[in-house]
């Protein structure tokens, strides 16, 4: 709950509007991951015995853990100047804002992570969830 309240305080309509490309890129990455995982079935030494297991593998490759690990790693990365210097905001006159750069970096990266998560949720419930449900039904019939 604390992480959601911290992230919720930084996500605004303006921030989400400026990050429109992140959910779009997320959908592209997920689709590309699915295609690459599907192509691996054609590799001779990568044969999965049961088609149902391969369907589950494709979903696992396409929908990795996109929130928990970045939320834990990004604050540590933001402690380095080479990272947080990319997130220091400037006002209209080009003067650096007087906010904590590490907090600014963490807030920006968390906003990006959660805007990517919107794409993840959309794609998972559009195709991934149903593929897993169908694989589970087929696996139950096979055994």
* Mean pLDDT computed over 112-118: 84
List all residues 6 or more positions away from 16 whose beta carbon is below 8 Å from its beta carbon.
Answer: 111, 115
Residue pLDDT, tens place only, 41-81: 888 777 777 777 788 888 888 888 777 777 778 788 888 88
* Mean pLDDT computed over 120-127: 87
pLDDT at residue 32, rounded to an integer: 93
List all residues 6 or more positions away from 19 whose beta carbon is below 8 Å from its beta carbon.
Answer: 111, 112, 115
* Mean pLDDT computed over 115-120: 84
Residue pLDDT, tens place only, 17-27: 888 898 899 89
| Beta carbons within 10 angstroms of residue 131's beta carbon | 16
pLDDT band at 93 (very low <50, low <70, confident <90, very high): low
Mean residue pLDDT of the chain comes to 79
| Buried-exposed string 80-114: b where 16+ CB fall within 10 A, e elsewhere | eeebbeebeeeeeeeeeeeeebbebbbbbbbbbbb
pTM of the model: 0.72
């Amino acid at each position: 709950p604390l992480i959601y309240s911290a992230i919720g305080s930084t996500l605004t309509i303006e921030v989400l509007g400026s990050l429109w490309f992140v959910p779009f890129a997320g959908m592209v990455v997920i689709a590309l991951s699915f295609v690459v995982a599907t192509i691996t079935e054609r590799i001779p030494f990568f044969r999965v015995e049961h088609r149902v297991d391969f369907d589950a593998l494709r979903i696992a490759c396409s929908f990795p853990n996109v929130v928990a690990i970045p939320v834990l790693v990004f604050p540590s990365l933001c402690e380095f100047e080479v990272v947080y210097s990319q997130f220091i905001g400037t006002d209209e006159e080009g003067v650096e804002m007087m906010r904590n750069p590490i907090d600014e970096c963490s807030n920006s990266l968390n906003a990006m992570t959660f805007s990517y998560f919107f794409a993840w949720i959309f794609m998972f419930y559009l195709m991934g969830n149903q593929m897993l449900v169908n694989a589970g039904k087929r696996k139950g019939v096979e055994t």
